[in-house]
A and B are shown apart, each in its own frame.
Chain A
């Protein structure tokens, strides 16, 4: 596996509480992504980063914010968790350009339950 870790791996929280998920990589890849995976929807992009302090929205960004202060860390924050944010969250990295294969490597996932 590529050097990607996610923490926590499992979390149960209550509606209205803030939640932060962390993605840490040791590959020094430029691009980092946050996806959520739900039955029938596949993988949907929440936010992504193309460099330190450079982030952009994905297709399901409402209710989520991100930060990237270091190459290796990409944080996803649910400002006020809702039950609709119950999901499995995956972090991914890639190092595009330069003729390299555009392989995207995924972390092990974080299972979040919002009660």
Chain B
């Protein structure tokens, strides 16, 4: 029940295309859903996050879509660029609980020039 399942494991997209990464969770107590971006040799860095009281959040080319009833959330990268090539992790957190973040297994994105 604590797992966050992330798919796909890897993704190849043409420059200018849309990259979509999906995550699903079971624990309905989760109330904060961040996405992290990690470049090779670096630590993950927060990209964008959403709370379950909204269905969508957009920051520039990055959008999170949240479906509370389905217990799923996804990251959409519009107009994907080679510089977006990185590993992306979704995560979930219960802010009233033990403050343990649960991470997905990651998606390695490659954007072709």
Contact = CB atoms under 8 A, between A and B. Distances in A.
Interface of A: 31, 33, 35, 40-45, 48, 50, 56, 58-59, 90, 92, 94, 96-97, 101-109
B105 interface: yes
Contacts of B41: 109
A29 B103 CA distance: 21
Per DSSP, chain A at the interface is strand
Contact of A31 (B9, B89, B99): B99
8 contacts: A31-B99, A43-B44, A44-B103, A102-B49, A106-B45, A108-B42, A108-B43, A109-B42
Nearest to A102: B32
A50 B44 contact: no
Given A42-B106, A101-B49, A56 B43 contact: no
Nearest to B31: A102
- Interface hub of B34, B43, B98, B105 (most chain A Cβ within 10 A): B43
A19 B95 CA distance: 33
B100 A45 contact: yes
